[in-house]
Structure 1
């Protein structure tokens, strides 16, 4: 099945749109911030507030953006090879590096690529999305079925983190939503790439502020029920501690909240060129490399107990922004391109088909 895009959408796909690069950079920087402050949330209420506020929507927004730039037609040979070169091969390379690091630091002697290390789950999720989207596009109401799969998966304990399956199914609705937004031509129809009306931006701020107030007002309750695990989409309801039938309703509410907050986020993102636009073209470098920078800090326990203060919290937030900028620099991209953007021409019968594509797995157009 081949989807024909509206004329405006086809044109948008061919030119750089600062909105998407700005959004990608903010999303991936929030990923870094979330991972940087994670060790503080057990000892700091303010850290948990930031964590819950961000985790409610930042990965769903990332998935929506990735889905927007995905194609639902039957893949050709080149597109199938891109799954290997853009997703599977970088995943195996990074998983091997992580195994080596954990062996040297922790003495861990296990290489198990079926269980993705730390941040690598998203690469596998993107691969799964690419493989199943052509099939979803063949059936009626694909978004409905994606939501049904996400909710239904939570009732089965045997759908676990193997090959990132539980998380991939959990956030599938956001990826499909992004694809449907493009297919419906909503961005062009409502001129969403243009600067949004002041009242719409104000509404987005009010909604975001309301969510922040809810997080702060009920923080002891959120800590008690461990709300953060609902935002991971990687556990069954029983695994989270809810064995009641209404666990699926809670996940549906979490999905709806994430969509609402993601929409507010996209309304507030600058539409024009900004200082962060260029950095948004190096999303995968930031995402895949930041964990190595944070790993020593997390393993030393530096951010726990007495160091779980507001000063340390702010320090880690600003440090995360600096890390994102540094990892998106031309020098870092040049040094780490062989593992982030491998070119295994030797692997394929048609050697030209194995070359790195112009678009990375999140939809960002690569430089050079």
Structure 2
């Protein structure tokens, strides 16, 4: 997609529509984020036998989902939802969740010979779909508060002290990552990106600093790996378990989450600074991240369950190979043929479900929960 081609008509002034165009940066950011998601899941089995893979895994999980949450928040609206927007919560989140949770139940039954359907416990990657739904539902209420970012940070920290806030409806991860979603919304609400020209002003020394930050994180993950393994840092980065379940019984355990959130913000900033600003052949794939997100786990499932990624030596050969294959999977799952086949599952539009069937036709272009089809107006 051309970086200058208008693909959606924006709000109108009188009878003359104001045209909006896509900003390639955001599509590039979405696509690179989803590549990191696929890579993180792909190398998970390598971490059992490779310290380098484990260090890379920790470095990725320190920021890749917070980055996705920030992008999703940036494209979210905090105003009172219209009927069409309310319908989108059903068509873009609830229905795909039910469809794919059912598919996972059937897959586990076919492969493992048993299945215990439980729609309150999302399978593997589906937790983020529920998180996006909850984010969107509570954002209008957060926007009413003074200091909404502070409240989300307090909610995230406080939820870790409550063992009963668990993976049911992915509530623990949702509350844990809420500050990043709110941060993305806050950046757009206060026009920070445009006012500070963050997509334009990028001197070489800032990019060099971003590279240094990411490199230092990788070095720290590798050099102090025994320490991270001893404190089970991997599960701290999931924002899923209560502090007490992670050995953090002390009153100050919430301070660890604060440190991890600050680290994630710094790493996200470094990551965003390095994202290309131009339009490339792969830029348009950033509009279809939900396809990659929901489908890649089925591609990786056989490798995850058969153990073929265990005991692979040498690491210097297999880790780059798995990385390249992760990029390829992310590319293939965003292509037109795949979208054509799986669109009824990922972007269902069941007019029969609504009292007003026109609700599913008023949306114009199809959307997804991250707002990836919603261009921002340029300054």
Structure 1 runs (4+) deviating above 4 angstroms are none
Q: Which moved more, 1:186-195 or 1:247-256?
A: 186-195
- Aligned counterparts, 1:201-350, within 5 A: 201-306=207-312, 309-350=315-356
Partner of 1:360: 368
Instruction: Pick the aligned partner of 1:59 from 44, 52, 65.
Output: 65
Q: Tell me, yes or no, if the aligned pair for 1:237 and 1:243 is still in contact at 8 Å.
A: yes
| 1:160 correspondence with 2:166 | yes
Partner of 1:75: 81
The DSSP-based 3-state class of the residue aligned with 2:43 is helix
Partner of 2:49: 43
Q: Deviations 1:196-227 (Å, cap 9, x if unpaired)?
A: 11121111111111212211221111111111
Q: Deviations 1:308-335 (Å, cap 9, x if unpaired)?
A: 7332222111111000000011000011
2:57 & 2:227 partners in 1: Cα distance?
15
1:293 & 1:306 partners in 2: Cα distance?
19
Q: Deviations 1:233-258 (Å, cap 9, x if unpaired)?
A: 01100111211111100000000000
Q: Deviations 1:280-322 (Å, cap 9, x if unpaired)?
A: 1110000000000000000001111345733222211111100
Larger helix fraction of residues? 1
2:52 & 2:367 partners in 1: Cα distance?
38
2:107 & 2:46 partners in 1: Cα distance?
23
Partner of 2:14: none
TM-score (norm 2): 0.91
Give structure 1 stretches of 5+ with no counterpart. 1-10
> Residue 225 and residue 199 in structure 1: after superposition, are their counterparts in 2 closer, same or farther (change >3 A)?
same
1:366 & 1:287 partners in 2: Cα distance?
18
1:366 & 1:358 partners in 2: Cα distance?
9
Partner of 2:178: 172
1:33 & 1:56 partners in 2: Cα distance?
14
Q: Tell me, yes or no, if the aligned pair for 1:40 and 1:308 is still in contact at 8 Å.
A: no
Note the C-alpha offset of 1:12: 11
> Residue 345 and residue 241 in structure 1: after superposition, are their counterparts in 2 closer, same or farther (change >3 A)?
same
Number of matched pairs: 357
Q: Tell me, yes or no, if the aligned pair for 1:125 and 1:167 is still in contact at 8 Å.
A: yes
TM-score (norm 1): 0.94
1:152 & 1:361 partners in 2: Cα distance?
27
Note the C-alpha offset of 1:193: 2.1
| 1:117 correspondence with 2:106 | no
Q: Which moved more, 1:192-201 or 1:168-177?
A: 192-201
